[in-house]
Chains A and B, each alone.
Chain A
Amino acid sequence: MSTHLPPLPRDIGTVNWIGLWTLYQREVYRFLKVYTQTIAAPVVTTLLFYAVFALALGGVVRMAGSVPFLVFLGPGLIVMAMAQNAFANTSSSVVIAKVQGNIVDVLMPPLYPLEMAVAYVGGGVTRGMFVGVVTGIAIWVFVPLGIHSPAYILFHGLMASMMLAQLGMIGGIWSEKFDHIAAFTNFVVTPLTFLSGTFYSVDRLPPTFWWLAHFNPFFYMIDGFRYGFIGQSDGTLAIGVAVMLGINAALGVLLLRMLSTGYKLKA
């Protein structure tokens, strides 16, 4: 008589690479499918801001430090678009899945919190980088931007996208309905991206705000990214690098904690 053994659990190894890759791909296809809204729209909006603020402020402040205002404004707008879109990708994905209930499709498979986080945040970072490259090319057509240090551009571009993608996922998990994430976007993320030095050098700020800016991670993200283009920065570069690494690590810990306890995700 043959012995019937119960089926062995499928061995997926230490890391569920297929699951991780599949979830990442879904996150990327999600935004590529509606590229007019996720890539073309941010590019058009960014160019509009570029035109409008260049015209409004160009007359009064022709130079920002030693560079023309137009060259100063470009990198700030690029990283702002990257940040906002990285945030939009993860936050919308999580909130929609929660509201519609299909978040279980992600919770049921054998994915560790770390794998889930990497896949989602990776999707957000990919969208941020996509938007950054396309916006950068679009701006470059009008005002050629020089590149001072590709390393700083890449580092701060990646860190900015990652910070906002993580923040988007955290915000998405915290939100119980669309109103919550919309409020978080409108009242927290948008003002921080707009007011942290995209449109002006923080040296122009009144003293109190100038002091406050140096505690704002968004400031270091914009400042460091801009340094990569114009070779001129408002803050200390090393502090900027440290702040970006620190804030990403802190957000990562918080995100993993939320995922492993199932905060607002599991019953």
Chain B
Amino acid sequence: MTPRPVGRILWLGAWTLFLRELRRYSKEALETVLAPAFQALVYFVILVFALGPERGTDEGDALLSHAMPGLILMAVLFRSAETTAFSLLLDRMEGIISDVLMAPLGAAEMTAAYALAGAVSGLATGAVVLAGAMLVWPLPPVHFWALPVFAALSALMMSLAGMLIGLFCEKWDHLAAAFVFVLTPLTFLSGVFAPVDTLPAAVAFAVRFNPIFHAIEGFRYGFLGSGTGGDPLASLAVVAGTVVVLLACNGVLIHRGYKLKP
């Protein structure tokens, strides 16, 4: 019996893994799509209510317009990371990761399937949040090109970061800690709600080394234009560079079977 030829790239295998990951996401749409959209709405309503007499003034409107892109992208970022991190950790803990390891999939195919599924799920959730946002607070984008570019790259960046979390963690406690103590602060302090200039100078400076800040900054540039003062191309370079680095890390770890193979 000759081995079945699979070609240089096992397209069917990678596609199947990708689809399985997406189905895991869509199966829980209440938790993975509706809940983040609702959460974004709650944050937005807090801001609207808290404005009080400032509601409807230019200053108040500026605050809401600033927050809206941040809230949309935040939903994308968290969903992308959660999809891959949960998936990999669950598979490893339950031992069903062997189903993926046994298939004739190389590290590149495996990495690509997980990462793309994570990114697509983040973008799908983001699209729903965006649609809802446009109903609540219509905001015409100034530089449309930046929206899909930054959304897609940030989603990929976070799904790759989520994969690293899923690979490193040993149990749910670790995963929860990674999200609560690392990803959430990095995101919340990246100017989701308020311009980073309002932060203390030292923190505002440190934030510029945070790729999540550049993801949000670039996405916001798409909506509001360069009024925020950042350089979108520099932000693009930072996010793209982070994607490359994370991709390499994941590829190497999966190739070596780090915490995957005995």
Question: Does A200 count as interface, using CB distance less than 8 angstroms?
Answer: yes
Q: A51-B189, A179-B30, A182-B31 are in contact. Are A61 and B46 (CB under 8 A)?
A: no
CB of B156 to closest CB in A, whole Å = 25
Do B193 and A60 have beta carbons less than 8 Å apart?
A: no
Complex CA distance for A55 and B195, rounded to whole angstroms: 8
Do A52 and B51 have beta carbons less than 8 Å apart?
A: no
Question: Does A45 count as interface, using CB distance less than 8 angstroms?
Answer: yes
Complex CA distance for A191 and B63, rounded to whole angstroms: 21
Do B42 and A199 have beta carbons less than 8 Å apart?
A: no
Interface residue range, chain B:
35 or more
Which residues of chain B have C-beta atoms less than 8 A from A191's C-beta? 38, 42
CB of A64 to closest CB in B, whole Å = 9
Which residues of chain B have C-beta atoms less than 8 A from A190's C-beta? 39, 42
Do B177 and A60 have beta carbons less than 8 Å apart?
A: no
Q: A34-B173, A179-B30, A187-B35 are in contact. Are A57 and B188 (CB under 8 A)?
A: no
Question: Does B53 count as interface, using CB distance less than 8 angstroms?
Answer: yes
Segment of A3-11, A125-133, A201-209 engaged in the interface with chain B: A201-209
SS class, residues of chain B in contact with chain A = helix
Which residues of chain B have C-beta atoms less than 8 A from A201's C-beta? 52
Which residues of chain A have C-beta atoms less than 8 A from B31's C-beta? 179, 182-183, 186
- Chain A residue with the shortest CB-CB distance to B30: A183
Question: Does B134 count as interface, using CB distance less than 8 angstroms?
Answer: no
Do B54 and A60 have beta carbons less than 8 Å apart?
A: yes
Q: Mark A41-82, 1 if CB is under 8 A from B, else 0.
A: 100110010011101111111000000000000000000000
> How many contacts A-B (CB < 8 Å)?
100
Question: Does B67 count as interface, using CB distance less than 8 angstroms?
Answer: yes
Segment of B100-108, B139-147, B160-168, B178-186 engaged in the interface with chain A: B178-186
* Set A37, A59, A195, A203: member contacting B52, Cβ < 8 A: A203
Find residues 1-55 in chain B having any chain A CB closer than 8 Å to their own CB: 28, 30-31, 35, 38-39, 42-43, 45-47, 49-54
Q: A183-B30, A186-B39 are in contact. Are A55 and B198 (CB under 8 A)?
A: yes
Do B53 and A195 have beta carbons less than 8 Å apart?
A: no
Question: Does B60 count as interface, using CB distance less than 8 angstroms?
Answer: yes
CB of A113 to closest CB in B, whole Å = 32
Complex CA distance for A199 and B193, rounded to whole angstroms: 14
- Chain A residue with the shortest CB-CB distance to B196: A55
Question: Does B123 count as interface, using CB distance less than 8 angstroms?
Answer: no
* Set B49, B177, B181, B184: member contacting A195, Cβ < 8 A: B49
Question: Does B192 count as interface, using CB distance less than 8 angstroms?
Answer: yes
Which residues of chain B have C-beta atoms less than 8 A from A48's C-beta? 184-185, 188-189
Question: Does B93 count as interface, using CB distance less than 8 angstroms?
Answer: no
Q: A41-B177, A61-B52 are in contact. Are A52 and B42 (CB under 8 A)?
A: no
- Chain A residue with the shortest CB-CB distance to B187: A48
Do A194 and B198 have beta carbons less than 8 Å apart?
A: no
Do B39 and A204 have beta carbons less than 8 Å apart?
A: no
Which residues of chain A have C-beta atoms less than 8 A from B177's C-beta? 36-37, 41
Question: Does B136 count as interface, using CB distance less than 8 angstroms?
Answer: no
Find residues 68-104 in chain B having any chain A CB closer than 8 Å to their own CB: none
Q: A199-B46, A200-B52 are in contact. Are A55 and B199 (CB under 8 A)?
A: yes
Question: Does B176 count as interface, using CB distance less than 8 angstroms?
Answer: yes
Q: A52-B193, A55-B194, A179-B31 are in contact. Are A60 and B184 (CB under 8 A)?
A: no
Question: Does B170 count as interface, using CB distance less than 8 angstroms?
Answer: no
Find residues 11-61 in chain A having any chain B CB closer than 8 Å to their own CB: 34, 36-37, 40-41, 44-45, 48, 51-53, 55-61
- Give me 17 other A-B pairs in contact (C-beta within 8 A), A41-B181, A191-B42 excluded: A41-B177, A44-B184, A48-B184, A48-B188, A48-B189, A52-B194, A55-B198, A57-B51, A59-B194, A61-B52, A194-B42, A194-B43, A195-B49, A200-B50, A201-B52, A204-B50, A209-B49
| 26 A-B contacts (beta carbon < 8 Å) | A36-B173, A36-B177, A37-B173, A37-B176, A44-B181, A44-B185, A45-B184, A52-B188, A53-B46, A53-B50, A53-B193, A55-B198, A56-B193, A56-B198, A61-B51, A179-B28, A179-B30, A182-B31, A191-B38, A194-B43, A199-B46, A200-B49, A204-B50, A204-B51, A204-B52, A209-B49
Binding site for A on B (CB under 8 A): 28, 30-31, 35, 38-39, 42-43, 45-47, 49-54, 59-60, 63, 67, 173, 176-177, 180-181, 184-185, 188-189, 192-194, 198-199
